[in-house]
Protein backbone atom coordinates (compact mmCIF):
# COMPACT_ATOMS: atom_id res chain seq x y z
CA UNK A 1 0.00 0.00 0.00
CA UNK A 2 1.68 3.27 -1.06
CA UNK A 3 1.82 5.91 1.62
CA UNK A 4 -0.36 8.96 0.89
CA UNK A 5 2.63 11.33 1.03
CA UNK A 6 4.76 9.30 -1.42
CA UNK A 7 3.29 11.17 -4.39
CA UNK A 8 3.39 14.94 -4.09
CA UNK A 9 0.34 17.00 -4.96
CA UNK A 10 -2.76 14.87 -5.09
CA UNK A 11 -2.44 11.86 -2.79
CA UNK A 12 -3.80 8.71 -4.38
CA UNK A 13 -6.79 6.86 -3.02
CA UNK A 14 -7.00 3.12 -3.20
CA UNK A 15 -9.96 1.43 -4.77
CA UNK A 16 -9.39 -2.31 -5.01
CA UNK A 17 -11.16 -5.57 -4.34
CA UNK A 18 -11.08 -6.73 -0.71
CA UNK A 19 -8.40 -9.35 -0.12
CA UNK A 20 -9.66 -12.43 1.77
CA UNK A 21 -9.39 -12.02 5.56
CA UNK A 22 -6.26 -13.39 7.22
CA UNK A 23 -7.03 -16.77 8.72
CA UNK A 24 -5.33 -16.16 12.05
CA UNK A 25 -7.59 -13.30 13.23
CA UNK A 26 -10.91 -13.93 15.01
CA UNK A 27 -13.99 -12.61 13.20
CA UNK A 28 -16.09 -9.93 14.87
CA UNK A 29 -18.89 -10.18 12.30
CA UNK A 30 -19.39 -13.24 10.12
CA UNK A 31 -22.28 -13.49 7.64
CA UNK A 32 -22.44 -16.80 5.79
CA UNK A 33 -24.98 -17.10 2.93
CA UNK A 34 -27.60 -15.17 4.89
CA UNK A 35 -31.09 -14.72 3.44
CA UNK A 36 -34.22 -13.11 4.82
CA UNK A 37 -37.62 -13.96 3.40
CA UNK A 38 -40.84 -12.58 4.86
CA UNK A 39 -44.07 -14.60 4.79
CA UNK A 40 -42.13 -17.63 3.65
CA UNK A 41 -44.23 -20.12 1.69
CA UNK A 42 -47.15 -17.79 1.07
CA UNK A 43 -48.01 -15.90 -2.13
CA UNK A 44 -46.91 -12.72 -0.33
CA UNK A 45 -43.39 -14.13 0.18
CA UNK A 46 -40.78 -11.39 -0.20
CA UNK A 47 -37.04 -11.89 -0.17
CA UNK A 48 -35.22 -8.87 1.17
CA UNK A 49 -31.64 -10.17 1.07
CA UNK A 50 -30.15 -13.40 -0.25
CA UNK A 51 -26.78 -15.06 -0.15
CA UNK A 52 -25.12 -12.28 1.84
CA UNK A 53 -21.63 -13.35 2.93
CA UNK A 54 -18.90 -11.19 4.42
CA UNK A 55 -16.39 -11.26 7.24
CA UNK A 56 -14.94 -8.47 9.30
CA UNK A 57 -11.95 -9.55 11.32
CA UNK A 58 -11.17 -8.30 14.78
CA UNK A 59 -7.81 -6.52 14.43
CA UNK A 60 -6.15 -5.61 17.71
CA UNK A 61 -6.51 -1.93 18.69
CA UNK A 62 -8.30 -0.92 15.50
CA UNK A 63 -11.88 -1.05 14.29
CA UNK A 64 -12.90 -1.39 10.67
CA UNK A 65 -15.22 1.17 9.13
CA UNK A 66 -17.53 -0.43 6.59
CA UNK A 67 -19.55 1.80 4.27
CA UNK A 68 -22.58 0.13 2.72
CA UNK A 69 -23.94 1.41 -0.58
CA UNK A 70 -26.64 0.14 -2.90
CA UNK A 71 -29.84 1.00 -4.74
CA UNK A 72 -32.77 1.93 -2.50
CA UNK A 73 -34.78 -0.98 -1.17
CA UNK A 74 -31.94 -3.48 -1.60
CA UNK A 75 -31.87 -4.61 2.01
CA UNK A 76 -28.91 -2.61 3.33
CA UNK A 77 -30.80 -1.80 6.52
CA UNK A 78 -31.80 -5.44 6.87
CA UNK A 79 -28.14 -6.39 7.30
CA UNK A 80 -27.73 -3.77 10.04
CA UNK A 81 -30.87 -4.86 11.86
CA UNK A 82 -29.81 -8.51 11.67
CA UNK A 83 -26.55 -7.61 13.41
CA UNK A 84 -28.47 -5.57 16.00
CA UNK A 85 -31.03 -8.32 16.49
CA UNK A 86 -34.04 -6.09 15.84
CA UNK A 87 -37.38 -7.55 14.68
CA UNK A 88 -38.97 -8.00 12.18
CA UNK A 89 -35.76 -8.34 10.13
CA UNK A 90 -34.31 -10.48 12.92
CA UNK A 91 -34.07 -13.46 12.86
CA UNK A 92 -32.79 -14.30 9.39
CA UNK A 93 -34.30 -17.18 7.40
CA UNK A 94 -31.28 -19.19 6.20
CA UNK A 95 -27.51 -19.06 6.57
CA UNK A 96 -25.66 -18.00 9.68
CA UNK A 97 -24.95 -14.70 11.43
CA UNK A 98 -22.19 -14.73 14.03
CA UNK A 99 -21.00 -11.87 16.18
CA UNK A 100 -17.71 -12.64 17.95
CA UNK A 101 -18.31 -16.25 17.04
CA UNK A 102 -21.73 -16.38 18.71
CA UNK A 103 -25.14 -16.40 17.02
CA UNK A 104 -27.27 -13.28 17.68
CA UNK A 105 -30.03 -13.86 20.23
CA UNK A 106 -31.50 -10.35 20.37
CA UNK A 107 -30.63 -6.67 20.73
CA UNK A 108 -28.09 -5.55 23.31
CA UNK A 109 -25.97 -2.55 24.30
CA UNK A 110 -22.82 -4.15 22.85
CA UNK A 111 -24.16 -3.25 19.39
CA UNK A 112 -25.07 0.44 19.24
CA UNK A 113 -27.50 1.75 16.63
CA UNK A 114 -27.82 5.30 15.29
CA UNK A 115 -30.97 5.90 13.26
CA UNK A 116 -31.62 8.50 10.58
CA UNK A 117 -34.44 10.16 12.50
CA UNK A 118 -32.34 10.53 15.70
CA UNK A 119 -35.23 9.12 17.80
CA UNK A 120 -34.18 10.94 20.93
CA UNK A 121 -36.79 10.47 23.65
CA UNK A 122 -38.93 13.64 23.58
CA UNK A 123 -39.72 13.46 27.30
CA UNK A 124 -36.08 13.40 28.39
CA UNK A 125 -33.56 16.21 28.52
CA UNK A 126 -30.31 15.88 26.58
CA UNK A 127 -28.51 14.59 29.68
CA UNK A 128 -31.21 12.02 30.40
CA UNK A 129 -31.26 10.94 26.76
CA UNK A 130 -27.51 10.40 26.72
CA UNK A 131 -27.65 8.59 30.07
CA UNK A 132 -30.52 6.29 29.05
CA UNK A 133 -28.34 3.25 28.41
CA UNK A 134 -26.46 3.66 31.69
CA UNK A 135 -29.81 4.03 33.46
CA UNK A 136 -30.93 0.71 31.94
CA UNK A 137 -27.70 -0.83 33.20
CA UNK A 138 -28.47 0.43 36.74
CA UNK A 139 -25.48 2.79 36.92
CA UNK A 140 -25.75 5.16 39.89
CA UNK A 141 -27.30 8.55 39.20
CA UNK A 142 -24.21 10.62 39.94
CA UNK A 143 -21.88 8.52 37.85
CA UNK A 144 -24.14 8.44 34.82
CA UNK A 145 -24.62 12.18 35.00
CA UNK A 146 -20.88 12.82 35.03
CA UNK A 147 -20.38 10.43 32.16
CA UNK A 148 -23.27 11.94 30.18
CA UNK A 149 -21.82 15.44 30.58
CA UNK A 150 -18.47 14.13 29.38
CA UNK A 151 -20.02 12.64 26.24
CA UNK A 152 -22.15 15.70 25.52
CA UNK A 153 -18.89 17.63 25.50
CA UNK A 154 -17.24 15.05 23.25
CA UNK A 155 -19.88 15.35 20.55
CA UNK A 156 -19.43 19.11 20.51
CA UNK A 157 -22.40 20.28 22.56
CA UNK A 158 -22.30 22.49 25.63
CA UNK A 159 -23.04 20.27 28.65
CA UNK A 160 -24.28 23.18 30.76
CA UNK A 161 -26.21 25.08 28.12
CA UNK A 162 -27.64 22.20 26.08
CA UNK A 163 -27.73 19.52 28.78
CA UNK A 164 -31.10 20.51 30.17
CA UNK A 165 -32.78 21.18 26.84
CA UNK A 166 -35.39 18.89 25.33
CA UNK A 167 -34.90 17.39 21.84
CA UNK A 168 -37.54 19.66 20.31
CA UNK A 169 -35.41 22.66 21.27
CA UNK A 170 -32.43 21.38 19.24
CA UNK A 171 -31.63 21.49 15.52
CA UNK A 172 -31.36 18.31 13.45
CA UNK A 173 -27.57 18.32 13.63
CA UNK A 174 -27.59 18.79 17.40
CA UNK A 175 -30.16 16.03 17.80
CA UNK A 176 -27.96 13.66 15.83
CA UNK A 177 -25.02 14.59 18.08
CA UNK A 178 -27.15 13.64 21.07
CA UNK A 179 -28.09 10.35 19.40
CA UNK A 180 -24.41 9.60 18.73
CA UNK A 181 -23.42 10.44 22.32
CA UNK A 182 -26.28 8.27 23.59
CA UNK A 183 -25.02 5.33 21.55
CA UNK A 184 -21.27 5.73 22.11
CA UNK A 185 -21.52 6.24 25.88
CA UNK A 186 -22.18 2.49 26.08
CA UNK A 187 -18.80 1.91 24.37
CA UNK A 188 -20.20 -0.66 21.97
CA UNK A 189 -17.76 -2.83 20.06
CA UNK A 190 -20.02 -2.62 17.00
CA UNK A 191 -21.75 0.56 15.89
CA UNK A 192 -24.51 0.39 13.30
CA UNK A 193 -25.51 3.57 11.52
CA UNK A 194 -28.46 3.70 9.15
CA UNK A 195 -28.13 6.86 7.04
CA UNK A 196 -27.43 8.87 10.18
CA UNK A 197 -26.63 12.10 8.33
CA UNK A 198 -29.24 11.70 5.59
CA UNK A 199 -31.42 14.52 6.89
CA UNK A 200 -28.59 17.03 7.45
CA UNK A 201 -27.36 19.80 5.18
CA UNK A 202 -23.97 19.28 3.44
CA UNK A 203 -21.92 21.53 5.76
CA UNK A 204 -23.29 20.02 8.94
CA UNK A 205 -22.78 16.65 7.34
CA UNK A 206 -19.06 17.15 6.79
CA UNK A 207 -18.46 18.33 10.35
CA UNK A 208 -20.43 15.31 11.61
CA UNK A 209 -18.25 13.05 9.47
CA UNK A 210 -15.11 14.50 11.07
CA UNK A 211 -16.64 14.11 14.52
CA UNK A 212 -17.52 10.51 13.79
CA UNK A 213 -14.00 9.70 12.58
CA UNK A 214 -12.51 11.23 15.74
CA UNK A 215 -14.80 9.34 18.12
CA UNK A 216 -14.52 6.08 16.22
CA UNK A 217 -10.72 6.16 16.44
CA UNK A 218 -11.02 6.64 20.17
CA UNK A 219 -13.44 3.76 20.64
CA UNK A 220 -11.75 1.32 18.23
CA UNK A 221 -15.16 -0.05 17.32
CA UNK A 222 -16.26 -1.74 14.13
CA UNK A 223 -18.70 0.56 12.32
CA UNK A 224 -21.29 -0.36 9.70
CA UNK A 225 -22.49 2.72 7.94
CA UNK A 226 -25.40 2.65 5.45
CA UNK A 227 -25.60 5.70 3.21
CA UNK A 228 -26.82 6.97 -0.16
CA UNK A 229 -23.92 9.40 -0.38
CA UNK A 230 -21.06 7.76 -2.30
CA UNK A 231 -18.51 10.35 -1.16
CA UNK A 232 -19.52 9.77 2.45
CA UNK A 233 -19.01 6.00 2.14
CA UNK A 234 -15.69 6.36 0.32
CA UNK A 235 -14.44 9.00 2.77
CA UNK A 236 -15.43 7.26 6.00
CA UNK A 237 -14.91 3.67 4.98
CA UNK A 238 -11.90 1.39 5.19
CA UNK A 239 -13.99 -0.78 2.98
CA UNK A 240 -17.14 -0.28 0.94
CA UNK A 241 -19.75 -2.99 0.33
CA UNK A 242 -21.93 -2.48 -2.71
CA UNK A 243 -25.30 -4.22 -2.80
CA UNK A 244 -27.18 -5.42 -5.88
CA UNK A 245 -30.81 -4.39 -6.44
CA UNK A 246 -33.49 -6.28 -4.49
CA UNK A 247 -33.30 -9.04 -3.37
CA UNK A 248 -30.00 -7.62 -2.22
CA UNK A 249 -26.70 -9.40 -2.10
CA UNK A 250 -23.19 -7.99 -1.81
CA UNK A 251 -21.86 -7.52 -5.35
CA UNK A 252 -18.55 -5.82 -4.58
CA UNK A 253 -16.34 -5.61 -1.53
CA UNK A 254 -13.82 -2.83 -2.04
CA UNK A 255 -10.91 -1.55 0.00
CA UNK A 256 -10.64 2.25 0.08
CA UNK A 257 -8.31 4.74 1.74
CA UNK A 258 -9.02 5.41 5.39
CA UNK A 259 -10.14 8.93 6.38
CA UNK A 260 -6.82 10.30 7.59
CA UNK A 261 -7.50 13.94 6.61
CA UNK A 262 -10.41 16.28 7.41
CA UNK A 263 -13.51 15.65 5.30
CA UNK A 264 -13.51 19.01 3.53
CA UNK A 265 -9.84 18.64 2.53
CA UNK A 266 -9.82 14.99 1.52
CA UNK A 267 -13.10 15.12 -0.37
CA UNK A 268 -11.75 17.94 -2.54
CA UNK A 269 -8.70 15.91 -3.64
CA UNK A 270 -8.40 14.53 -7.15
CA UNK A 271 -7.53 10.97 -6.07
CA UNK A 272 -10.51 10.86 -3.76
CA UNK A 273 -12.85 12.04 -6.47
CA UNK A 274 -11.50 9.36 -8.82
CA UNK A 275 -12.39 6.74 -6.22
CA UNK A 276 -15.88 8.20 -5.90
CA UNK A 277 -16.24 8.13 -9.69
CA UNK A 278 -15.16 4.50 -9.74
CA UNK A 279 -17.81 3.54 -7.17
CA UNK A 280 -20.45 5.64 -8.92
CA UNK A 281 -19.78 3.78 -12.19
CA UNK A 282 -20.35 0.46 -10.44
CA UNK A 283 -23.58 1.69 -8.84
CA UNK A 284 -24.92 3.08 -12.10
CA UNK A 285 -24.34 -0.27 -13.76
CA UNK A 286 -26.33 -1.92 -10.94
CA UNK A 287 -29.18 0.57 -11.34
CA UNK A 288 -29.36 -0.37 -15.05
CA UNK A 289 -29.58 -4.01 -14.05
CA UNK A 290 -32.53 -3.15 -11.85
CA UNK A 291 -34.50 -1.58 -14.72
CA UNK A 292 -33.43 -4.14 -17.33
CA UNK A 293 -34.36 -7.29 -15.43
CA UNK A 294 -37.09 -6.91 -12.84
CA UNK A 295 -36.66 -9.23 -9.89
CA UNK A 296 -38.11 -12.67 -10.17
Partner 1 sequence: MAGWQQWLARVRTIRDLPSQLESRLFGAASIALGFLAWHWLTMPWGDGNRILSATLLPSLPDTLASFRSLWFDRALTLSVLASLGRVLGGFLLTAAIGIPLGLIAGSYLRVNAFLKPLSIFGRNVPLAALIPLTLIWFGLGELQKVMFIFLATVGFVLFDTTNAVQAVPDRFLDTAYTLGAHRTPGKGIRRAALFGLVYALIFSFGLFLLQNHNEDSASLIQEMTQSPFWWHAAIGFLLGSALWFPIQSHQLLRKVLLPLALPDIINNLRLIFGVAFGYIMLAEVIDAKRGLGFIITQSQRVGPREHIYLCLIIISLLAYGIDQSIRSLQRKFFPYLKNAES
Give residues in contact with partner 1 (CB under 8 A).
84, 86, 106-109, 111-113, 115, 117, 119, 121-123, 132-133, 135-137, 166-168, 182-183, 186, 192
Distance, in Å, from the CA atom of 280 to the CA atom of 277, rounded to the nearest integer, reads 5
Query: Nearer to partner 1 by C-beta: 16 or 135?
Result: 135
CB of 119 to partner 1, least distance (A): 4
User: How far apart are CB 83 and partner 1 at their closest, in Å?
Assistant: 10
Q: Checking DSSP bridges between strand 239-243 and strand 222-226, what pairing results, if any?
A: unpaired
Residue 75 or 167 having the CB closest to partner 1 = 167
Q: What is the 3-state secondary structure (H, E, C) of the chain?
A: CCCHHHCCCCCCCCEEECCCCCCCCCEEEEEEEEEEEECCCCCCCEEEEEEEEEEEECCCCCCCEEEEECCCCCCHHHHHHHHHCCCCCCCCCEEEEEECCEECCCCCCCEEEECCCCCCCCCCCHHHHHCHHHHHCCCCHHHHHHHHHHHHHHCCCCHHHHCCCCHHHCCHHHHHHHHHHHHHCCCCCEEEEECCCCCCCHHHHHHHHHHHHHHHHHHCCEEEEECCCHHHHHHHCCEEEEECCCCECEEEEEEECCCCCCHHHHCCCHHHHHHHHHHHHHHHHHHHHHHHCCCC
If the CB atoms of residues 91 and 115 are measured against partner 1, the closer one turns out to be 115
Of 143 and 289, which has the nearer Cβ to partner 1?
Answer: 143
Q: At closest approach, how far in Å is the CB of 133 from partner 1?
A: 4
Give the shortest CB-166-to-partner 1 separation in angstroms: 4
Residue number, 135 or 289, with CB nearest to partner 1: 135
Q: Which one, of 55, 6, 110, 63, lies nearest residue 223 by Cα?
A: 63
**For partner 1, the closer CB: 44 or 123:** 123
In the complex with partner 1, the residue whose CB is nearer, 15 or 80, is: 80
Indicate the residue among 191 and 234 with the shorter CB distance to partner 1.
191
Smallest gap, in angstroms, from Cβ of residue 192 to partner 1?
Answer: 8
Q: Provide, rounded to whole angstroms, the least separation between the CB of residue 84 and partner 1.
A: 6
Please, what is the minimum distance in Å from the beta carbon of residue 122 to partner 1? Answer: 5
CB of 81 to partner 1, least distance (A): 8
Query: How far lies 84's CA from each of 112, 113, 190, in Å?
Result: 8, 7, 9
Amino acid sequence: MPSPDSIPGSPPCILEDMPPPPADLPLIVDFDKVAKTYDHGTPKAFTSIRDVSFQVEDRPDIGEFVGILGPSGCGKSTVLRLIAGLAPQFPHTTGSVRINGQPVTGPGPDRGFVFQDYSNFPHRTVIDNVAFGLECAHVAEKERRTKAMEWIQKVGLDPLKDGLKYPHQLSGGMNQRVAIARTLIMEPKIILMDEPFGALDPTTRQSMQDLLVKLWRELEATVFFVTHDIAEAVYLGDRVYIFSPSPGTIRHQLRVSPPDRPARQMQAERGFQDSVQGVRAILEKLELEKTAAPTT
